[in-house]
Amino acid sequence: DSGVTQTPKHLITATGQRVTLRCSPRSGDLSVYWYQQSLDQGLQFLIQYYNGEERAKGNILERFSAQQFPDLHSELNLSSLELGDSALYFCASSVEQRSTEAFFGQGTRLTVV
C-alpha cells in the first residue's frame, strides 16, 4: 500500500458527462500529480500541484481541470467526456516539488460509453 488513496476505483459514465476523481496523498506529502494511462499512450503526465498551487502542466485537455485543497487532497474534473477519455487515471504524491520519489495510488478506471 503506497499510502495514496484514490476514489472511486471504477467509474462508468456516458459521453458528454462530467466526473470528478479524488485523490488523498500520503500523509506529509505536499505534491500531487495526475497521470492518464491508456493502452496506446502509456503514462501521460497531466498536472502537478504543490501545497495548493499548480506547479507543472502536461498534456491536459481544456475539458479537464484539477485543484488541490487546503487539506492537500486533490480532485481531477473531467467534463464533456468522450470515448477516448476512457483510461486509468493515477494520482501520485511526493514530499517535495521536484525530483523525488513519487508514490502512486491504485488508480481510477474510467470507462466512457
Partner 1 sequence: GESVGLHLPTLSVQEGDNSIINCAYSNSASDYFIWYKQESGKGPQFIIDIRSNMDKRQGQRVTVLLNKTVKHLSLQIAATQPGDSAVYFCAENNSGGYNKLIFGAGTRLAVHP
What are the residues binding partner 1 (CB under 8 A)?
Answer: 2, 4, 31, 33, 35, 37, 39-40, 42-45, 48, 50, 55-56, 58, 88, 90, 92, 94, 96-107, 109
What is the Cα–Cα distance from 68 to 46, expressed in whole angstroms?
A: 14
For residue 89, what is its C-alpha cell? 487515471
Question: 13 vs 104, which CB is nearer to partner 1?
Answer: 104
Question: Rounded to the nearest 5 degrees, what angle is found at the Cα of 109, between the Cα atoms of 107 and 113?
Answer: 160
* Cβ 39 to partner 1 shortest distance, Å: 6
* 3-class state of residue 83 by DSSP: helix
Question: 65 vs 97, which CB is nearer to partner 1?
Answer: 97
- Asked if the peptide bond before residue 8 counts as cis, ω within 30 degrees of 0, the response is yes
Question: 37 vs 79, which CB is nearer to partner 1?
Answer: 37
